[in-house]
Amino acid sequence: MAFAMSAARAEVLRRIRDALGDERAPAPPPAPAAAAAAPRVADPVARFTQRVGDYRAGVTVVEDASEVGAAVAAALTRHAAADAVVPADLPAGWVPTGIAALADDPPLPHARLAQVGAVVTACALAIAETGTLILDGGVGQGRRAITLLPDVHVCVVGADQIVGTVPEAIARLAGTPRPLTLVSGPSATSDIGFVRVEGVHGPRRLEVVVSRRA
């Protein structure tokens, strides 16, 4: 099969060269000016919280990091989550007291994750314009499966992590080798009669806690 595959590779590349002939793109390709010059957002925190709210996610804004734990606990209580998986390196103050916290260390089996009520994480970045959270598996975020299988995702965002627009976020993430997940509201579908339904396979509830100061 190896030979057949390399023959296919050679032929597809040859077909491309034949198809293009002398019409080659100028190198380097033209810069997408409009994308790069996307306007900055004046008050990113206000815009972000409004836009996250538009997706019908819960949003709580707190003044500083000392209030995050209480806001997380309140979010979990709202959804009657009895337990929550937490990344091993989640800041200690964010781990709610009064509910069972499961560290994903060693990694929990998928079937176990599917039974946990909630997950609490940090994020890498957030986008004000689109109300998007970006997870990159960095500090306080854990691997992708833990934010996927539990039914409630509580995500903590620092105000300094919020950028204005999609191109700004993409620029900040340049060079990351880690898998990225961009989350904009809870899982949703409009496949039946074009009626939007929140919560299909991913977390059915998204709660965002924004901390104005670290």
Partner 1 sequence: MSGFASAARAGLDDPQLRRNLRQATTTIRAKRDAAVAEVDDWEGLRTAGAAIKDAALLALDAHLERLEANVVAAGGQVHWARDAGEANAIVTALVRATGADEVVKVKSMATEEIGLNAALAAAGIAAYETDLAELIVQLGDDRPSHILVPAIHRSREDIRALFERELGETGLSTDPAELAGVARRHLRERFLRVRVGVSGANFAVAETGAICVVESEGNGRMCTTLPDTLITVMGIEKVVPRWEDLGAMLQLLPRSSTGERMNPYTSLWTGVTPGDGPQAFHLVLLDNGRTTALADAIGRQALRCIRCSACLNVCPVYERAGGHAYDATYAGPIGAILSPLIDGFERHATLPSASTLCGACYEVCPVKIDIPSVLIHLRGRVAREHGAPPSERAAMRAMARVLGTRRKYELAQRALRTAGRPLSRDGRLERRLPGPLKPWTTFRDLPAPPEQTFREWWRSR
Binding to partner 1 in span 160-199, by CB under 8 A = 166-171, 173-175, 177-195, 197, 199
Which residue, 56 or 213, is less far from partner 1 as judged by CB? 56
Question: Is residue 86 within 8 Å of 102, Cβ to Cβ?
Answer: yes
CB of 147 to partner 1, least distance (A): 9
Q: Does 137 bind partner 1 (CB under 8 A)?
A: yes
Determine if 19 is a binding residue for partner 1 (CB under 8 A).
Answer: yes
Question: Would you mind telling me the total number of residues written for the chain in this entry?
Answer: 214
Q: Does 88 bind partner 1 (CB under 8 A)?
A: no
Alpha-carbon distance of 200 to 202, in angstroms, equals 6
Residue 46 or 213 having the CB closest to partner 1: 46
Residues that contact partner 1, how many (by CB under 8 A) = 80
Work out the widest C-alpha separation in the chain, in whole angstroms. 69
Q: Return the residue matching tokens 């306007």.
A: 39
Residue 39's φ and ψ, nearest 5 degrees, are -65, 145
42 binds partner 1 per the rule CB under 8 A: no
Q: What angle do CA 157, 162, 165 make, to 5 degrees?
A: 140
Q: Which stretch binds partner 1 (CB under 8 A): 33-41, 66-74, 94-102, 156-164?
A: 33-41
CA 43 vs CA 63, 85, 86, 163, 207: distances in Å? 16, 32, 30, 10, 21
Name which position in 76, 114, 205, 208 contacts partner 1 (CB under 8 A): 114
